[in-house]
Structures are given as structure tokens and as C-alpha cells.
Amino acid sequence: MSTVQAQPAPLVEEAPVSLWRDAWYRLKRNRLAIFGLGVIILLAFVALFGPYLTPYDFLSQDLEARNQAPSLAHLFGTDDLGRDVFSRVVYGTRTAFVVAVVVTAIALVIGTVLGAVAGFFGNPFDRVIMWLTDVTMSVPNLLLVVVINASLKTPIAQWMEARYLETLNPFYRETVWIDFLLVFGSMALISWPPYARLVRAQVLSIRSRPYITAAQALGLSNRIILMRYVIPNALGPLIVAVSAGLGTAMVLESAFSFLGVGVNPPTPSWGNMISDGLRVWQHYPHLLAAPAAVLGLASVAFSFLGDGLNDALNPRGSK
Amino acid sequence: MTGKNRLLDVRGLTVEIETRRGPAVIVDGIDLHVDKGETLGVVGESGCGKSLTMLSLMRLLPNKIRVAKGEAHFDGRDLQKMSNRELRKVRGGDIGFVFQDPVTSLNPVMRIGDQLAEPLIYHRGMNRKQARERAIELLRLVGIPGPEERIQAYPHELSGGMRQRVMIAIGLACEPKLLIADEPTTALDVTIQAQIVDLVKGLREKLGMSVVWITHDLALIAGLVDRVVVLYAGTVVEDAPVDALYASPRHPYTRGLLASIPKLSDAPASRLNSIGGTPPEPGRRPQGCPFAPRCPLAMDICRTHVPKLEPVSAAGSHRAACFAVEKALEAA
């Protein structure tokens, strides 16, 4: 019986640094990314606590004070109905964030699951899922949203009306959430393919790495290997994609609302505010400038953060 | 040939790879066995099918490579016929695996404590806390200092030798009956190689398990293994107790391998010995003995017929597959 003695080998004696903390150090050194992160945190705060921050209700009209230029009383002025533009932009932030977060979350879950299954289990799943992805991507997204709006909105509204008359339940009187539901649904439906493709590509490359074979040699089930070995290793690029995706979803929501197929008035959205402002911008430029500037800022912030995350999480990819 | 003592018994294992020109044989009807408590060395050049043989036992072959025929009995049950569920219990539970490259064989985003805990939770039904304690114990067993802190570390924070120790600890986690180590020292410094060999030697005695040690380095395993199987081009060319193999290698390929080990007694300026040529590619195997094209002793029969693995010693424990065994003895 020989005993097994500890044979000390050289070790780096320092507190364990996790991969995520490492990435955070790199991110912190990127000023643009931190600027982006700051703006996003500020906007998220505004989105969460907006109603407590604004001096006016976003719907309250003051017909005595219409189309006023920015002043201390109304930071961004007032619109053609005398509503406080600042309050409306703040509420629009909430709309933008809710739509962006919910849509990205739905798209992410659908995309990750489908992509992981396609990549990990291979054919025939791969073929079917990739076919589905291609079909989805081939549909012009604006057209799809218009079609969904045109075909579903009226029947749902009518059904709600009928239910209200039948039950007199005030729940059926509230139609704002139909907008949201349609916007969420239609946008999620067109937003998942990029995530599915990204995750599939990641999984395909990870699947052939030795640590996956090692995990199989340990007798772990496919589900555990997928959840704890494959997906966490695919997370880096996915986080970057999500950051970019949130920005895109915000812009998309504004674009749809601008065209009148997204969130409809009186619910404020940056998009429909820009649309309103565009008609009178020669006389009241602040009505266009305020929502447009905030939309631009948000979009740029997500871009910067996405870039910074990309560099931080893929240190080998950047120089 | 058969006994109750037999832990692993592989018969006629044939592995094929799918190519554009049809299936090509990589492992050609291998027979090998491991007794309880025995340590077997599997030796051969790169690409001779050592790793694939072991991976195929556990049905871990990559895409396009598959077992065409053969049986692999482990503890009396055929691994090739098991259901996936049964097989998963054997993997990691009864058979531990240590892989070649400790850098890429550990999950980079998981703390090593969690990676150690995984098989314990799955095979031994431990809870997180028990698994954590056992993980610390295992790290101590494989000689990692400060295991209480180490379990919090990520693989990239450890040196290559430490990572290989972690791999071994993972392989040993459930106290398997058989540990298959696939060139576990190739990625390591020479001094660390010796440490790892000593470590496995000690653990084997402590835990009473069988070990299959795959390597291309005959010198490294001399003091570790009981018996050596020499593979060439997916066939067993020699199977012998380790002392007999070193003292009187019978197959010209084994001789070549042994002659290729540089010795300190060699003249300083002398050229290193090597076996000329390369192993045949899959799908382009010669008709007769696969080693014939490179063999210094090849005769006509070697190019037309495949030699069988036959006893070359009185006890029958030393076997070689060569028509020129007698000639090899004379040449020696």
C-alpha cells in the first residue's frame, strides 16, 4: 500500500476570479459602453418610476396652454392638446421598455430552445427547425405586422365589446392592452430567428468540444449537458445579441407606432409622438425633437453597450 | 481464457468511419481484456485506434464513426447492447474516464467543485452539500492543496497539472471499477507526467480498481502497468506481461517502438531511431499484415495473409501476431 501524498505544484494564490467578473473589468474600461449602460439604467429607472417623476398626467389636457415651447413649467413644452410632452416622453419610455423587454424575452426563449435543440440533436430536428427559421425570416416583418393588425385587431375589439355589453365587466372596456398584445405577439414572431441561428451555430461548435464528450463519459443526461454545459458556454454571444436586440425592438416598436400599426394613441409611444410631431415640425419643432432625441439616445446606448459587451465577452475577438 | 476475474472483455471489436468511398475500417476486430485489479497499457502510434477503441466501448464515438461489429462485456454485460439509460449508469459510475487534454476537457464556465459534484449527484444520489464535501475529499486525494478554496475555482485558474488532477478526481468520483485514462499525460511537463503516473499508481492500490492506460510512450508506463497491448493500424499486434514485453518483444513493430526510445547510453551525436513510413490510412490498408510495408523482416506471406495473434511463450500469456516471430528472435 503506497500512500498518496499531496504533491504541491505551483499554484496561483489569488481569489478566484470568475469569467463574468473578468468580463466586467474589461467592460468597465470601455467608456462608450459605460455611457450606454448609464443611459440604459437611467431610461429603465424612468420607465419603472415614470408616473412618480412627472408633474402632469400624460393624458391631462390643458387647452389654455397648447403648443407651448419648452419652459420650466413644461420641460419639453406642450402638444396641440396642451398635454405635457415631458410626461408623455416619460410614459413613452415605459411603453418602449415594456415592449422591448417582453418581445426580446419571448424571442429569446423561443430562439434559444429551438436553436439548442436543432444544434444539439441534429437531424431531423435541425432540418425542420432551420426550415421554420428560414420561412419566418423570409416574411417581410412590416407586412406581417400590418396583416396581423388588420386581420386580428377588429375581431378582438368586437369580441371585447360584445363581452362588455353582455357582462358589463369593466375589464372588457379596457382595450389598450390589445395593442400591446398584438405588438408583442407579432414582433416576437418575427424576432426569434436570429437568436435561433446564433444559438444553433454556438451549440454546433460547442457540441464537438472535448468537455462535452467528457460530460457524456460521466453519464450525464442530454438535458443536463444541454442546460449546464452547452447553453452556459453559448451565453457570451447571446448576451451581446440580446443587448442589440433590445435596442432593435425599441426602434421597431417606434417604427410600427409611427406607422399606426403599433401602440395607438392615446397611449404615448415615441413612435406615435414622432408621427404627430412630424406634421407640425416647422412650427413646433420641439414636438418632433423631444421623442426623436430620446429614441435616438436609447438606440445609440444599446449599440454602445452591445459593442462593449462583445469586446468584454470575446476578448480574443477584439485586438 | 475466460475467468470470473474478467472485468472487461472485448471481442472482435470493429469500428468503421464513413467516407465518401464507403465505410473504412479503423479498428479491425480487436480482442482485449482487463482483469479485476489489473492495469493494462494500450500502446501505439498516433492514429492507430487506441482512443477510438476506448471511446467505442462507451459508445462515445463522434459522428460518422460507428461500431460495425464486436462485443464488449463489462462485468458480464454487453456494453454495446445496453439501453442508453443503463449505459449512462455505467459511464462515470462503473467506468471512469480521464481525457487527454485537461485544458479542453473541463467545462470552462463551471467551478471545478460543481463539475466534481455532477457525477456524485447523478450516480450516488448525493445532495449538494454531501457532494461538496466529497469533492473536497477527492481533490485532497489527488493531491490538490487547499481543496476547500479550490472547489470555487474555474478551470482556467489552475495549471495544466492541476487540471489533469481535477480530471482524474472527476474520473474517480464514483469509485469506478475501471478507470480508462486516455493519454492523460501528453499535455503535461515531464516532471508532472511522473507525478500523475505515481498518483494513479497509488490510487489504484488504494481503491482496488482496474486501469486502462492509453499512451504512445512505452517508457512512461513501464513501472505502472501489469500487461501491455500493442496496437497497430487498429489491430492487436502484441499482448504481453510488461516485463516480457520489455525483455523480449516479439513483434517487429514493438521492437521498433522500443528502439525509438532515446537512451542516455546512446552516442551523443547519433541519430534518433525511428520506424520508417507511416501507418496506413483507413480505407487503404494493405492486403496482408498491416505492418508489412514498414517491416524490416517482411516476407512474401506477410503481404498476402494476415497473421493471427498466437502465443509465443510457453505460458501463453505472451502473444504476438507475426509470421516472422522466429526470425525476429534470431535478429535480436
Tell whether B232 lies on the interface with A, counting CB pairs under 8 A: no
Q: Which residue from B192, B218, B297 is spatially nearest to B250, judged by alpha carbons?
A: B297
Residues 155-214 of A with CB under 8 A from B: 208-211, 213-214
User: Has residue B47 got a pLDDT over 80?
Assistant: no
The mean per-residue pLDDT over the stretch B44-69 comes to 83
User: Has residue B237 got a pLDDT over 70?
Assistant: yes
Interface test with B, best of A3, A5, A7, A223 (most B CBs within 10 A): A7
- Residues in A closer than 8 angstroms to B88, CB to CB, are 219-221
- pLDDT for A197 equals 92
The mean per-residue pLDDT over the stretch B252-273 comes to 79
Please name the amino acid found at residue A59. Answer: L
- A17's CB contacts (< 8 A; 6+ apart) are B154, B157
Task: Note whether A18 contacts B97, CB cutoff 8 Å.
Answer: no
Which residue's entry shows cell 475467468?
B3
- Report the distance separating Cα B246 and Cα B140, nearest Å: 35
- Residues in A closer than 8 angstroms to B56, CB to CB, are none
- pLDDT for B128 equals 86
- Report the distance separating Cα A149 and Cα A267, nearest Å: 17
Nearest CA in chain A to B162: A9
- Report the distance separating Cα B181 and Cα B254, nearest Å: 21
Structure confidence at residue A10 as a pLDDT band (50, 70, 90): very low
Residues 10-69 of B with CB under 8 A from A: 55, 58, 60, 62-63
**CA of B202 vs chain A CAs: smallest distance (Å):** 6
- Report the distance separating Cα A224 and Cα B27, nearest Å: 31
- Residues in A closer than 8 angstroms to B101, CB to CB, are 210
To the nearest whole number, what is the mean pLDDT of chain A?
A: 79
- pLDDT for B58 equals 84
Which residue's entry shows cell 464486436?
B70
The mean per-residue pLDDT over the stretch B304-332 comes to 76
- A191's CB contacts (< 8 A; 6+ apart) are A103, A104, A106, A107, A111, A245, A248, A249
Tell whether A221 lies on the interface with B, counting CB pairs under 8 A: yes
Residue scoring higher pLDDT (B163 or A73): B163
Please name the amino acid found at residue B299. Answer: M
C-alpha cell belonging to residue B247: 525483455
Q: What whole-number percentage of chain A has pLDDT above 70?
A: 85
- pLDDT for A128 equals 92
Of A9-13, A115-119, B92-96, least confident by mean pLDDT is A9-13
- pLDDT for B1 equals 44
- pLDDT for B103 equals 81
- pLDDT for A318 equals 41
The mean per-residue pLDDT over the stretch A284-304 comes to 84
Nearest CA in chain A to B143: A6
Tens digit of pLDDT for each residue in A161-204? Answer: 888 888 877 777 776 677 777 777 888 888 889 999 999 998 88
Task: Note whether A229 contacts B110, CB cutoff 8 Å.
Answer: yes
User: Has residue B57 got a pLDDT over 70?
Assistant: yes
Nearest CA in chain A to B150: A16
Task: Note whether A210 contacts B97, CB cutoff 8 Å.
Answer: no
Task: Note whether A2 contacts B201, CB cutoff 8 Å.
Answer: yes
Tell whether B86 lies on the interface with A, counting CB pairs under 8 A: no
- Please, which residues bridge with residue A84 across strands? A78
User: Has residue B257 got a pLDDT over 70?
Assistant: yes
C-beta of residue B188 within 8 angstroms of C-beta of residue B161: yes
Tell whether B76 lies on the interface with A, counting CB pairs under 8 A: no
C-alpha cell belonging to residue B31: 480482442
Tell whether B82 lies on the interface with A, counting CB pairs under 8 A: no
- The CATH code for residues A51-57+70-313 is 1.10.3720.10
Interface test with A, best of B118, B128, B197 (most A CBs within 10 A): B118
Angstrom distances, CA of residue B87 to CA of B84, B142, B309: 5, 27, 31
Which residue's entry shows cell 420561412?
A135
Sheet holding B6-19, edge to edge: B22-35, B6-19, B65-74, B77-78
**CA of A190 vs chain B CAs: smallest distance (Å):** 31
Four-point Cα dihedral A70, A74, A80, A83, nearest 10? 160
C-beta of residue B93 within 8 angstroms of C-beta of residue B46: no
Task: Note whether A11 contacts B159, CB cutoff 8 Å.
Answer: yes
Nearest CA in chain A to B167: A214
Tens digit of pLDDT for each residue in A56-102? Answer: 776 667 667 676 667 766 677 777 776 777 788 888 888 888 888 88
Tens digit of pLDDT for each residue in A118-175? Answer: 888 888 889 999 999 999 888 887 888 888 877 887 788 788 788 888 887 777 777 6
Tell whether B93 lies on the interface with A, counting CB pairs under 8 A: yes
- pLDDT for A15 equals 44
Task: Note whether A11 contacts B145, CB cutoff 8 Å.
Answer: yes
- Residues in B closer than 8 angstroms to A235, CB to CB, are 109
Tell whether B199 lies on the interface with A, counting CB pairs under 8 A: yes
Q: Which residue from A140, A125, A239, A146 is spatially nearest to A190, judged by alpha carbons?
A: A140
Cα angle, residue B281 at apex, residues B279 and B284 outer, rounded to 5°: 115
- pLDDT for A11 equals 41
User: Has residue B213 got a pLDDT over 50?
Assistant: yes
**CA of B25 vs chain A CAs: smallest distance (Å):** 22
First to last CA, chain A: 54
- Report the distance separating Cα A191 and Cα B45, nearest Å: 51
Q: What backbone phi and psi angles, to 5 degrees, belong to B80?
A: -75, -20
Which residue's entry shows cell 526470425?
B327
